[in-house]
Amino acid sequence: LQSIASADMDLNQLEAFLTAQTKKQGGITSDQAAVIAKFWKNHRTHIHESLINQSRWDNVLKNVNWRVDLKSQLRHIDQINTPVAIVEMELGKNGQESEFLCLEFDEAKVSQMLKKLSEIEESMTLL
């Protein structure tokens, strides 16, 4: 069952895997294969979601809010009235209290962030 779950087998893969297991010496019987197949068909989604939740890092991104403000007070007068992006991210696990992270970006940092996100998107598209 562990091999079936980690590969997230579809029905064709499952059938081929179980057939191979029944032909293996010391493998499973056809009745056992039928029970495993029925169990997997009925619980595949729940098992897959559970494995994903177990393999995640501590937090997931639940929400993002942003706004653009103008700086009105700074040590250096040349930086007054420059736009900054304020980004608030809600992080947490489902069913637990969230944590909030607030970031401030100037125009250069926003451009850098967008470039990095674009690189991430390209990498994901290739996969």
Q: How far is Cα 41 from Cα 22, in angstroms, rounded to an integer?
A: 18
- Express as a percent the part of the chain with pLDDT over 70: 90
Q: Read off the pLDDT of residues 67-97 as tens digits, 9 standing for 90 and up.
A: 999 877 666 666 667 889 999 999 887 667 8
Question: Which pTM does this prediction carry?
Answer: 0.49
If you ran DSSP here, which 8-state letter would residue 3 be given?
A: H
- In the chain, % helix, strand, coil (3-state, to 5) comes to 55, 20, 25
E-strand ranges in the chain read 60-70, 83-92, 99-105
Q: Read off the pLDDT of residues 14-23 as tens digits, 9 standing for 90 and up.
A: 999 999 999 9
Are the C-beta atoms of 103 and 113 separated by less than 8 Å? Answer: no
